[in-house]
Structure 1
Amino acid sequence: MTIAVSPTTAEAGSRPQGVPGPARPQRPAHVVRDDAEAIRIAHDLAKDFREGASERDRTNARPLAELDAFSQSGLWSINVPKPFGGPEVSYRTLAQVIAIIAAADPSIAQIAQNHLGIVAAIRTVSDPEQQALLFAEILKGTRFGNAFSERGTKRAAEFETRFTDHGDHVIVRGQKFYASGALLAHRVPIVALDGAGRAWYAIADRDAPGLTVIDDWSAFGQRGTASGTVLIEDVRVEKTHLVPGYRAYEAPRADGAIFQIIQAAVDAGIGRAALDDTIAFVRERARPWIDSGQERASDDPYTIRAVGDLTIRQHAAEALLDRAGLAIDAAVANPTPESVAAAQIATAEAKVLTTEVALAAANTLFELAGTRSTLAEHNLDRHWRNARTHTLHDPVRWKIAIVGNHALNGVNPPLHAWS
């Protein structure tokens, strides 16, 4: 089952048309037992997701059936703490899970990103009563989307969306863009400011009156994320679902690194998929160059060298991703200025290399596979489109800068969701 793209605002008329939310799961989601099971489930799901990934990209289809399978598998609750009934797998494992899913369909992997980040935030900032309530929802299979970013503000961390206090609930008003996951979510966490300018997550019901999710995502990559617009017009959110997100960055915590390692894992998966398709196409379809003297393209010495270089860089990126996951695990267990900075730096390094290899692999694919690899029937350009679109999150030039500033001057990275 898929959801077709809705008409754009211009096509539909002056009033943007929203898309109804998906049905809640009819049965509780599976709860993963341990890290090994999480990896196994990810590989099983990836086999299924890979089958229709190219066609979903080609037709702009929204992966509702795949998301239902993903969240019901238990992988959307893998970082719920054990005292609340969750598996609390390591962040090394969580990053591996996302990379495995992203290699099959990076849009599906990205949709889970903010949900898993919110789970981490709830652990950090919510009181035990709120944690028990929200973690119970997540363990049942409730999917959180996001309504974080805004179009038109001067900087990414500046928001105009606000809420007003009405006793046992708040009323939220604003507008969001890049709302990955909101279209197919059961609840939508909205970043909104209180009267003091502090940022909270107001977790609204997907079909709450006044909440309109518009399927107007038009980017050339990551098409299946449906990262469009959310209109928030006097949306009621109970205070039980008002999470003080700002608290995560009042002291050194690993929350920012957790959001970032999931980004890096998506890019690692894109790089893996592009490299795998390069190897398959060169083996099965590409022709050797006229001057090579070879019978097969796979025996061309320059091609061999290029594939070897990409393979080494992909393995290095995956190794840095593992290293970052271990550093995050240490920072979650014992959050100190030093442990959190170590997690941020390790994650920044992983983000730089996963970005570079995703773009390199997606581009080199065509150089090695030849002109026939550009035919629409293969849709191999989706790897480059996905890599180029997704790696624009959190520019790596700033990741390199914080690594260098820490190494040279001992300056710890800033504390926010992008670091």
Structure 2
Amino acid sequence: MKLVHSEPLATVAPVFAGEAAAAAPRPAVPAHRIRSDEEAIDVAEKLAVRFAEEAGERDRERRLPIEELDLFSQSGLWGITVPKAYGGAQVSQATLAKVFAILAAADASIAQIPQNHFEIVDVIRSTGSEAQKRELFGAILSGLRLGNAFSEFHGKNVETFETRIVKTSAGYSVSGRKFYSTGALFAHLVPIVALDEDNHVVVAIADRESKGLTVVNDWSAFGQRTTASGTVTLDNVHIPTERVLPAHIVYEQQSAVGPQSQLIHAAIDAGIGRGAIALAIDFVRTKARPWIDSGREHAHEDPYTIAAIGDLKIRLHAAEALLERAGRQLDATIAETTEETIALAKIAVAEAKVLSTDIAILAANKLFELAGTRSTLGRHNLDRIWRDARTHTLHDPVRWKYHAIGQFYLNGVKPPLHSWI
């Protein structure tokens, strides 16, 4: 496919830090429909070239990637996991991980924005009625983007929710306050995690322009700066009955939704590592000077630099191999979902997450060590790679991955029920 819109999408006013954001306009034309795994990877590779062009400038200015996201969702990539029965490509989880890694190597912020969109696609597939699947999958394939109003800032832990959904004469009403709301500012539909009157977790999908739903651009982290992962406030937001999903089916019981979400995080980290290594190689070959004791004319002839690049590539390829292995295990788990196959998927993804975290942080550090002091100059803005790596790898601490993996292999203990392993 060509990476252009057949008709221009409506423009969006810039959103500055701390401001409430207007809803994104809905696409004027339907999104492209991707048909195969191969096409998904091809489209991702073409988009990655485009996204890399101004990634540094967007980070420096905290300029939100509005135009890029329109191109991204219109490309059809946001619909690639929709089941074939509903018109989607239903790509493998291994392919999905490759797509995210390709995009994260170009711009990790853009790659992270749809992560929760894909989690909700899985929730719809696993818990939605036929009517809900037809409506929501159709909306996604047309180019609508799902956001995220899941996490809360002040709870005891990530599973503590204060947001409530109550029955009304016209459907449901949701009130609460969310943070880490990656994707909500750019979304057309905002899935909200809330507790019902029986304290069960549900996902209520609100129209982005709903009265009482406010998205504030107050994300101030030093990394992943253009994800707009800030605040969503919900003040008696109306939710139609047909937009409420019984998510407790997958969140309060063993399911593949958790490891599917974790796989994308691991893929983003692997992509950051891949991008950092590519930037290191380019800088060493084109800008860096050889160290005086090397006796070489060019930095890329330094034997220690050569060995370091070799080490990074080995570690990257190991992370990518575990990522693909995890994706294949997830595909098998989705095809035959049992407690045993879910445990295998969680452990496989945890193993991939350990190595992808390691390579993201190591490669981001080595980028500067091998490229030298001039790589720290502001005009290069290479510190964004380390900042992105350090920020994104804080998702779901790896120290607990080691524990879960050891418990599984040593003591036969299955991973925890929750979605963060």
User: Do both share a fold (TM > 0.5)?
Assistant: yes
Measure how far apart 1:249 and its partner are: 3.6
Residues of 2 paired with 1:148 and 1:252: CA distance?
A: 19
Partner of residue 181, structure 1: 183
Alignment of 1:9-408 (within 5 A): 17-408=19-410
Q: Deviations over 1:291-321 (max 9, x none)?
A: 1111111111111111111110011111111
Q: Deviations over 1:322-377 (max 9, x none)?
A: 00100000000110111111111010001111001000000011111110000000
Residues of 2 paired with 1:246 and 1:71: CA distance?
A: 28
Measure how far apart 1:4 and its partner are: 3.6
Does the 8 A contact of 1:3 with 1:63 survive in 2? no
Q: Deviations over 1:268-298 (max 9, x none)?
A: 1111110000011011111111111111111
Residues of 1 paired with 2:281 and 2:39: CA distance?
A: 29
Does the 8 A contact of 2:288 with 2:299 survive in 1? yes
Does the 8 A contact of 1:274 with 1:383 survive in 2? yes
Residues of 2 paired with 1:249 and 1:62: CA distance?
A: 31
Measure how far apart 1:52 and its partner are: 1.1
Measure how far apart 1:251 and its partner are: 4.1
Residues of 2 paired with 1:326 and 1:229: CA distance?
A: 35
Q: 1:92 and 1:416, CA in 2 relative to 1: closer, same or farther beyond 3 A?
A: same
Measure how far apart 1:5 and its partner are: 4.2
Partner of residue 12, structure 1: none
Q: Which amino acid aligns with 2:62?
A: N
Residues of 2 paired with 1:90 and 1:356: CA distance?
A: 25
Give SS of 1:224's match: coil
Please report the TM-score for the alignment, with normalisation by the length of structure 1: 0.96
Residues of 1 paired with 2:311 and 2:128: CA distance?
A: 46
Does the 8 A contact of 2:86 with 2:137 survive in 1? yes
Match of 1:6 among 16, 26, 41: 16
Measure how far apart 1:7 and its partner are: 4.3
The count of aligned residue pairs is 411
Residues of 2 paired with 1:3 and 1:147: CA distance?
A: 22
Give SS of 1:223's match: coil
Measure how far apart 1:137 and its partner are: 0.8
Please report the TM-score for the alignment, with normalisation by the length of structure 2: 0.96
Q: Which amino acid aligns with 1:6?
A: F
Measure how far apart 1:142 and its partner are: 0.7
Q: 1:2 and 1:108, CA in 2 relative to 1: closer, same or farther beyond 3 A?
A: farther
Residues of 2 paired with 1:83 and 1:89: CA distance?
A: 13
Q: 1:353 and 1:271, CA in 2 relative to 1: closer, same or farther beyond 3 A?
A: same
Does the 8 A contact of 1:252 with 1:335 survive in 2? no
Give SS of 2:420's match: coil
Does the 8 A contact of 2:104 with 2:110 survive in 1? yes
Residues of 1 paired with 2:142 and 2:65: CA distance?
A: 20
Measure how far apart 1:133 and its partner are: 1.2
Residues of 2 paired with 1:167 and 1:407: CA distance?
A: 52
Measure how far apart 1:400 and its partner are: 1.0
Q: 1:250 and 1:156, CA in 2 relative to 1: closer, same or farther beyond 3 A?
A: closer
Measure how far apart 1:138 and its partner are: 0.7
Identity %: 57
Moved beyond 4 Å, runs of 4+: none
Does the 8 A contact of 1:2 with 1:62 survive in 2? no
Q: Deviations over 1:209-247 (max 9, x none)?
A: 000100011001101101010110110011111111110
Give SS of 1:235's match: strand
Partner of residue 3, structure 2: none
Residues of 2 paired with 1:122 and 1:240: CA distance?
A: 12
Does the 8 A contact of 2:73 with 2:145 survive in 1? yes
Does the 8 A contact of 1:256 with 1:415 survive in 2? no
Partner of residue 414, structure 1: 416
Residues of 1 paired with 2:292 and 2:418: CA distance?
A: 54
Aligned-pair RMSD on alpha carbons? 1.1
Does the 8 A contact of 1:91 with 1:326 survive in 2? yes
Q: Which amino acid aligns with 2:16?
A: S
Give SS of 2:96's match: helix
Structure 1, 291-300 or 373-382: larger mean CA deviation: 291-300
Does the 8 A contact of 2:180 with 2:230 survive in 1? yes
Structure 1, unaligned stretches of length 5 or more?
9-16
Residues of 2 paired with 1:2 and 1:223: CA distance?
A: 19
Does the 8 A contact of 1:317 with 1:350 survive in 2? yes
Measure how far apart 1:127 and its partner are: 1.6
Structure 1, 211-220 or 290-299: larger mean CA deviation: 290-299
Measure how far apart 1:412 and its partner are: 0.9
